[in-house]
Structure 1
Amino acid sequence: MNFPADEDFHRLLDALTQCILLHDAETKAIVWANRAACDALGFSLEEMLPLKAADMTRPVPKYRREIGVGAMDRSITQGPQVYEWCYRSRSGVDMLSEAIATYVPLASRAVVMVQFRDISAEDAVKQTLRRYESRLREFMQDLGEGVAVLTPAGGVEFISESGRRVLGIADDAPMGGVLDYCNENDRDRLLEQLDHAPRIQPSAPQRYRITRRDGAARWLRITCRRIEIEDDLNGLLIHFRDITDEVTIEETRRTQARMLEYAGRYNAMGEMATAIAHELSQPLAAVRNFIEGAIRRLAQPGPVDDAIWGLRSADRQAEHAALIIKSVREYIVKREPTEALVDLRDVLGDVAYFIELRAREMDVKVTITQAPDTLPVYCERVLIGQVILNLAFNAIDALADVDAPRRHLQLVTMLRGTQAIVQVADNGPGVPEGAHGRLFDGFSSSKVGGNGIGLSLCKNIVTRHNGEIRAEPAEKGGLVCSFALPLAPASDEAAQAASSPDTETKD
Structure 2
Amino acid sequence: MFPRSPSFSAAGGRQLWLLPRLALVLFVAAVIGLLAYVRMSEREEARLVLVSDVLWMEQNLRFQFEQTEERLAAMLESARDGGLGEADFRARARLIAQANPALVGLHISGAVEPLDYGQVLESSQIADMVRLSRATGRPAYTDVLGNNLLAVAISDQGRDLVALMALPKILNQQVPWWFANKYRLTVLDGQGRQIASKSGVSTDDEALSYQLPFDPPGRGMILRITAYRTPTGTVQKGLIAGVVVLAVMVLLSWLRLNRQVQGRLNAEAALREEYAFRTAMEDSLSVGMRARDLDGRIIYVNAAFCRMVGYSATELMGSMPPYPYWNPADIAGHQAQNEAVLAGRAPQGGFESTVRHRNGQLVATRVYTTPLIDATGRQRGWMSSVVDITSQKAAEAREHEQEEKLRQTGRLIAMGEMASTLAHELNQPLMAMSSYASAARNFAGRGEQDMLDSTLNKIAEQAQRAAGVVRRIREFVRKHAPHREECDLNEIARDTLELIDPDARARGVRLVCELAPDMPIIAADRVLLGQVMVNLLRNAIDACAEQAADRREVVFSTGCTADQVGFSVADRGHGIPAEIVERLYEAFFTTKTLGMGIGLNICRSIIEQHHGKLHHHARPDGGTQFHVSLPR
TM bracket, shorter-chain basis: 0.5 to 0.7
Which moved further from structure 2: 324-333 or 198-207? 198-207
Q: Give runs of aligned pairs for residues 62-77 of structure 1, distance below 5 A.
A: none
CA deviation vs aligned residue, 1:57-115 (integer Å, no higher than 9, x gap):
xxxxxxxxxxxxxxxxxxxxxxxxxxxxxxxxxxxxxxxxxxxxxxxxxxxxxxxxxxx
Amino acid at match of 1:266: L
Structure 2 counterpart of 1:286: 432
CA distance change for structure 1 residues 33 and 378 in 2, over 3 Å: closer, same or farther?
farther
SS of 2:324 mapped into structure 1: helix
Q: Where does residue 245 of structure 1 map in the other structure?
A: 391
Secondary structure in structure 1 of the residue aligned to 2:275: helix
The aligned residue for residue 35 of structure 2 is: none
TM-score (norm 1): 0.65
CA separation of 1:123/1:408 partners in 2, compared to 1, >3 Å: closer, same or farther?
Answer: same
1:180 aligns with 2:324: yes
Aligned to 2:311: 169
User: Cα distance, 1:281 vs. partner?
Assistant: 1.0
**1:255 aligns to 2:401 (yes or no):** yes
Q: 1:364 maps to which residue?
A: 509
Contact 1:197 1:226 (C-alpha < 8 Å) held by counterparts? no
**Pair 1:324 & 2:469 matched:** yes
**TM-aligned CA distance change 1:376 to 1:284, over 3 Å:** closer
Which residue does the alignment assign to 1:196?
340
CA shift at 1:260, angstroms? 1.4
- Greater C-alpha radius of gyration: 2
User: Please, which of 389, 407, 421 is the counterpart of residue 275 of structure 1?
Assistant: 421
**Greater length-normalized contact order (CA 8 Å, ≥ 6 residues apart):** 1
Question: How large is the Cα RMSD of the aligned pairs?
Answer: 3.9
Q: Which residue of 1 aligns with 2:291?
A: 149
Instruction: Give secondary structure in 2 for the equivalent of 1:180.
Output: coil
The residue that corresponds to 2:625 in the other structure is 481
Q: State the identity as a percent.
A: 26
Report the secondary structure of 1:441's partner residue: coil
Name the structure 2 match of 1:131.
Answer: 273
Aligned equivalents of 2:488, 2:336: Cα separation in 1: 36
1:466 Cα deviation after fit: 4.3
**Worse-superposed segment, 463-472 or 209-218:** 463-472
Which residue is 2:262 aligned to? 120
C-alpha separation between the residues in 2 aligned to 1:36 and 1:345? 102
Equivalent residue letter for 1:438: R
Distance 1:292 1:480, change over 3 A: same
On the 8 A contact 1:398/1:446 being kept in 2, the answer is no
- Which residue of structure 1 aligns with residue 545 of structure 2? 400
Note the C-alpha offset of 1:391.
1.2
Q: Which amino acid counterpart does residue 351 of structure 1 have in structure 2?
A: T
Native 8 Å contact 1:198 1:226 kept in 2: no
Q: The residue matched to 2:364 in structure 1 has which SS?
A: strand
Cα distance 1:124–1:343, how it changes in 2: closer, same or farther (>3 A)? farther
Deviation readout 1:348-374 (Å, 9 max, x if unpaired): 334121122321222321111123563
User: Whole-Å Cα distance in 2 between the matches of residues 190 and 132 of structure 1?
Assistant: 35
Cα offset, 1:164, TM superposition = 0.5
453 and 32 in structure 1: CA distance in 2 versus 1, 3 angstrom threshold? closer
Alpha-carbon contact 1:145-1:166 (below 8 Å) kept: no
Map 1:385-424 → 2, pairs under 5 A: 385-404=530-549, 406-415=551-560, 420-424=565-569
CA drift of 1:420 comes to 4.2
In 2, Cα distance between the equivalents of 1:433 and 1:154? 60
Q: Give the Cα–Cα distance (whole angstroms) in 1 for the partners of residues 413 and 407 of structure 2.
A: 10
Change in Cα spacing, 1:364 to 1:40, as seen in structure 2 (3 Å) is: farther
8 Å contact from structure 1 (residues 194, 224) kept in 2: no
3-state DSSP of counterpart to 1:279: helix
| Native 8 Å contact 2:516 2:557 kept in 1 | yes
Paired residue secondary structure (2:586): coil
Say if 1:185 and 1:339 are closer, same or farther in 2 by CA, change over 3 A.
Answer: farther
Q: Structure 2: how far apart are the matches of 1:127 and 1:428?
A: 79
Structure ranking higher in helix proportion? 2
Gaps of at least 5 residues in structure 1 are 1-22, 44-116, 489-507
Partner Cα separation in structure 2 for residue 468 and residue 438 of structure 1: 17
Partner of 1:57: none
Mapping for residues 293-304 of structure 1, pairs under 5 Å:
293-295=439-441
Contact 1:182-1:210 at 8 Å conserved across structures: yes
Contact 2:282-2:302 within 8 A present in 1 as well: yes
2:493 counterpart residue number? 348
Matches for 1:94-109 after TM superposition, within 5 Å = none
User: Hey, what does 1:235 align to over in structure 2?
Assistant: 381
* Count of aligned residue pairs for this structure pair: 389
**Separation in structure 1 between the aligned mates of residue 477 and residue 468 of structure 2, nearest angstrom:** 14
The partner residue of 1:426 within 560, 566, 571 is 571
Cα separation, 2, equivalents of 1:206 and 1:337: 24
Q: 1:470 to 1:196 in 2, by over 3 A?
A: closer
Deviation at 1:399, TM superposition (A): 3.1
Aligned to 1:39: 14
Counting only pairs closer than 5 Å after superposition, residues 366-381 of structure 1 correspond to structure 2 as 366-372=511-517, 374=519, 379-381=524-526
- Label 1:317 to 1:247 Cα distance change in 2 as closer, same or farther (>3 A): same
Structure 2: give runs of 5+ residues left out of the alignment: 19-258
Give me the whole-angstrom Cα distance separating, in 2, the residues matched to 1:232 and 1:437: 53
When normalised by structure 2's length, the TM-score is 0.53
Structure 1 distance, partners of 2:547, 2:486, is: 39
Match of 1:112 in 2: none
Matched, 1:458 2:603: yes
Stretch moving more, 245-254 or 310-319? 310-319
